Structure 1
Amino acid sequence: MKERTLEYYIERHMQGTITPQERAELLRLLEDPAGDEQLNGIMNEQLDQWQQSGLLFEEVSKRIQQALLTKIATEASPVRPRTSVRILKRQYWLAACLIALLGLGFYFYRKTVNKPLLTAVHTPKDIQAPAVNRAAITLSDGRRIFLDSAGNGQLAQQGNTALIKLANGQIAYQGTDKNLSKQMQYNTLTNPRGSKVIDMQLADGSHVWLNAGSSITFPVAFAGDARKVALKGEGYFEIAKVLISGAPASGRAHEGKRLPFIVEANGITTEVLGTHFNVNAYEDEPETKVTLLEGQVRVMHNTQSIMLKPGQQGIASASALSLQPSADLAQVMAWKSGYFYLDNAPFEEVMRQLSAWYDITVAYPSGVPKVELFGKMGRDLSLIEVLQNFKEAGIQWKLDGRKLIIQK
């Protein structure tokens, strides 16, 4: 792991997340003469920021400095030889003042026309990873069922199909018989931003997982010569093999013609017979990506069409459809596996993932940093824990409520 810097430990202290071991290392670095240049740089940066913000902190700073010096004088025994008295360097108590001012919530006076306004300086409030699922299903009659507050068991009956919430939290559509319905009713499963991944079993036995900030519209029971759904955001599909007659395919492939399963997303059509694949079709992504893990799919966009084999990816932009012959499956499936995969991922793409997962907005007032990220991080980390890793790569950030500001 990259060596921790003085700025890293000061930031940890300011945010209240520093461990006892890290605090000891912070004190060691502050006392090390080799760190004077870095400490001066941090101090100058903070002083510049305070000056630009209009804060008057001289009097408060002096009081803290005097308190620190008094404490040192009190702790120094008068009977000890002079050579044993430890002198606190200027850089050390300046850093102590900096940490006290920023991390412990001291107050500053802001310049005003009338009278000073007492303003508290707070560390940013952390944003935790989604702990619950906040998905909801909109039924064909317009009713909405919020799944986090719904009990287990049958939630609704629509025609011959029952909507069930299983004990493990999974949603399942179960028909009273195995035949495909002739009545078309549509439901929409919406998994909002800042919500855990939700998985659902459709009436034909197919399984769908939805990432945060995604939705899927589908028939309560499939009918006709194809099974069609519409996706927004990102979903992973494991499609059941169903014969045209409606009976599940239990034997060899030639025993009957299979009923195609079609996913519509961002103007892209993905047609499958029975397979495992991932569709990334967020509206804020510049491209829509279909990645095949098992089986075979056909991807269509405008007048273009390509067939995918396992491990391949179809990439559709506004005007073109291309084939990526060797997709990074670990990166594609990271969201379903519970982590952020950073290797070779564009910085803006990673930020969009964080935006959907933590339900935040991201701004780049100085432009998008040109950095390369590597490794992976668990999606159970808090936002600040994730951002600390980015700071080690030289990325500066500021969290203002649910707005993340990336600074070069």
Structure 2
Amino acid sequence: MHQTNKRIAELFDRWYNNKSTAAEKAELIRLLKTASAEKDLYPLLEEAWNKETTTTAYGTGREDALIQQILTRYPAVREPAPVSRMRYLRRWWAAAAVLVLLGTGLYFWQQQGTHPAPVSSSPPLSHDILPGTTGAILTLANGEQVVLDSLQDGVVAAQHGTQTILANGQLSYNQLSPTADTVSYNTLSTPKGRQFRVMLPDSTIVWLNASSSLTYPTVFTGQERKVSVSGEAYFEVAKNRKMPFRVHLPASVKIEVLGTHFNVNAYADEASVKTTLLEGRVRVITDNAQAVMLPGQQAQVSRTSPAHSPAQINIIAADTEQIMAWKNGLFNFENAGLEEVMRQLARWYDIEVVYENGIPDIHFAGEMNRNISLTGLLKILEKTGVHFRIENGRRLVVLH
């Protein structure tokens, strides 16, 4: 190894492990300013990325490590980059961002070249908002509502021979009698800033993203298992060939499965209802069409079809890593526009987003942990040149 390369690696390792002195940091900055990104930086950043992404817990003092999974902007391109290229960029851009944000004075490169991009300081945001957390509202068959956010584990309701049980952040159902005299329906709703998990009476597990709802019976009877969803949910359906599982979505979309893993995104402020299959097979049905999906595919049904025009089912290849990021505790902003990013933040941080001078045409890359505060996240986004102001408590104004 070249002597300079070896010294960069040594200094970087000491900095990464919080052992470097001020003089060593200054030396690292000086060497990196003349280093080759391809030969010197990429291997170090890739190694740092791999270390951080294998860490599942971020305890006290490791908040900065979250920045390791943070995005930074790359200018929008007219033609999408190949998937392998995009994923590679995500990995080292996210790792590079930590060098900027830890205040070491290091810099990063734009996607198209190797020229250093200056990082300007942003005015401090006067008010911080914490990220979302586990919580939901359970609406029972009689209309009674139970707030699950701070409820202790145990039986939370008894309905027509069925117990509703809360344990370790998951709701489940225990049927006390082999037959139910009355089928009761419950609705589990997650407000903005909340997410939750429920095990249905057939052992199907459903994760609800923020601002979503799931309506289901407390016991499945008859020849089908039918539930309704709004917002976003991830299903791991228990197999039962004698009783197909059917999900009813907005825009007259239905999903039929026997046993599979899939994600649905049916937020009212999204342009289409999306179903993404991870395992097994599902059939997506509208009033005028149907399609069978394979793993790795996404079915899209537009909410804005022209009048008197039947809604079509569009099947595309899906980036399942990006789609499942929310369930895995991450934001994934790969090639996402600012408006799309703001919709996600509005749900997770329970904020209102307004644009002072229109919506800037900015796209992002990378992923980050969803446990970061809103102020911390906005400081990252401001590296793109767009700025923000928080006013009236939970109103986020996008400046440009």
Q: TM-score range by the shorter chain?
A: 0.5 to 0.7
Change (3 A) 1:404 1:175: same
Residues 312 and 323, structure 1, Cα contact 8 Å, conserved in 2: no
1:321-336 equivalences under 5 Å are: 321-336=312-327
Change (3 A) 1:183 1:392: same
Number of the residue aligned with 2:216: 218
Deviation string, structure 1 residues 125-163 (Cα, Å, up to 9, x no partner): 111112x43311111111111112322111111122110
By relative contact order (CA 8 Å, sep 6+), the higher-ranking structure is: 2
Instruction: Tell me the distance in 1 between the aligned counterparts of 2:102 and 2:152.
Output: 45
- Tell me the amino acid that sits aligned with residue 176 of structure 1: L
Number of the residue aligned with 2:355: 364
Of 286, 291, 315, the match for 1:301: 286
Instruction: Tell me the distance in 2 between the aligned counterparts of 1:275 and 1:182.
Output: 30
**Is 1:317 matched up with 2:302?**
yes
1:39-188 equivalences under 5 Å are: 123-130=125-132, 132-166=133-167, 168-176=168-176, 181=180, 183-188=182-187
Instruction: Tell me the distance in 2 between the aligned counterparts of 1:330 and 1:226.
Output: 31
Instruction: Tell me the distance in 1 between the aligned counterparts of 2:190 and 2:183.
Output: 23
Cα RMSD over matched residues?
2.8
- Tell me the amino acid that sits aligned with residue 190 of structure 1: S
- Tell me the amino acid that sits aligned with residue 361 of structure 1: E
Instruction: Tell me the distance in 2 between the aligned counterparts of 1:350 and 1:143.
Output: 35
- Tell me the amino acid that sits aligned with residue 191 of structure 1: T
Residues 204 and 236, structure 2, Cα contact 8 Å, conserved in 1: yes
Residues 355 and 362, structure 1, Cα contact 8 Å, conserved in 2: yes
| More displaced stretch, 317-326 vs 286-295 | 317-326
- Which has the higher Rg, Structure 1 or Structure 2? 1
Task: Give the C-alpha shift of residue 176 in structure 1.
Answer: 2.5
Instruction: Tell me the distance in 2 between the aligned counterparts of 1:299 and 1:357.
Output: 28
Unaligned ranges ≥5, structure 2: 1-44, 46-70, 73-99, 107-117, 306-310
Unaligned ranges ≥5, structure 1: 4-18, 27-37, 43-98, 104-122, 243-256
1:332-343 equivalences under 5 Å are: 332-343=323-334
Task: Give the C-alpha shift of residue 181 in structure 1.
Answer: 4.1
Number of the residue aligned with 2:227: 229
Residues 182 and 223, structure 1, Cα contact 8 Å, conserved in 2: no
Task: Give the C-alpha shift of residue 220 in structure 1.
Answer: 0.9
Change (3 A) 1:346 1:20: closer
Of 275, 299, 303, the match for 1:290: 275
Residues 344 and 374, structure 1, Cα contact 8 Å, conserved in 2: yes
Residues 290 and 313, structure 2, Cα contact 8 Å, conserved in 1: no
Number of the residue aligned with 1:272: 257
Change (3 A) 1:276 1:20: closer
Task: Give the C-alpha shift of residue 182 in structure 1.
Answer: 5.8
- Tell me the amino acid that sits aligned with residue 260 of structure 1: P
Instruction: Tell me the distance in 2 between the aligned counterparts of 1:395 and 1:345.
Output: 15
**Is 1:393 matched up with 2:349?**
no
Instruction: Tell me the distance in 2 between the aligned counterparts of 1:21 and 1:311.
Output: 37
Task: Give the C-alpha shift of residue 310 in structure 1.
Answer: 0.5
Task: Give the C-alpha shift of residue 361 in structure 1.
Answer: 0.9
Deviation string, structure 1 residues 185-207 (Cα, Å, up to 9, x no partner): 10111111012x21010111110
Instruction: Tell me the distance in 2 between the aligned counterparts of 1:208 and 1:397.
Output: 35
Task: Give the C-alpha shift of residue 269 in structure 1.
Answer: 0.7
Instruction: Tell me the distance in 1 between the aligned counterparts of 2:179 and 2:210.
Output: 30
Change (3 A) 1:20 1:349: closer
Number of the residue aligned with 1:348: 339
1:8-23 equivalences under 5 Å are: 22=103
- Tell me the amino acid that sits aligned with residue 211 of structure 1: N
Instruction: Report the TM-score, using the length of structure 1 for normalisation.
Output: 0.65
Instruction: Tell me the distance in 1 between the aligned counterparts of 2:262 and 2:312.
Output: 17
**Is 1:258 matched up with 2:242?**
yes
Instruction: Report the TM-score, using the length of structure 2 for normalisation.
Output: 0.66
Secondary structure, counterpart of 2:326 in structure 1: helix
Instruction: Tell me the distance in 2 between the aligned counterparts of 1:182 and 1:276.
Output: 31
Instruction: Tell me the distance in 1 between the aligned counterparts of 2:385 and 2:101.
Output: 25
Task: Give the C-alpha shift of residue 323 in structure 1.
Answer: 3.1
Instruction: Tell me the distance in 2 between the aligned counterparts of 1:169 and 1:201.
Output: 11
Instruction: Tell me the distance in 1 between the aligned counterparts of 2:325 and 2:280.
Output: 20
Instruction: Tell me the distance in 2 between the aligned counterparts of 1:298 and 1:385.
Output: 41
Change (3 A) 1:278 1:20: closer
Secondary structure, counterpart of 1:336 in structure 2: coil
Change (3 A) 1:21 1:306: closer
Secondary structure, counterpart of 1:355 in structure 2: helix
Task: Give the C-alpha shift of residue 364 in structure 1.
Answer: 1.6
Task: Give the C-alpha shift of residue 25 in structure 1.
Answer: 5.8
Change (3 A) 1:264 1:21: closer
| More displaced stretch, 182-191 vs 353-362 | 182-191
Task: Give the C-alpha shift of residue 385 in structure 1.
Answer: 0.9
Secondary structure, counterpart of 1:203 in structure 2: coil
Instruction: Tell me the distance in 2 between the aligned counterparts of 1:144 and 1:172.
Output: 16
Instruction: Tell me the distance in 1 between the aligned counterparts of 2:101 and 2:253.
Output: 53
Number of the residue aligned with 2:91: none
Secondary structure, counterpart of 1:124 in structure 2: coil
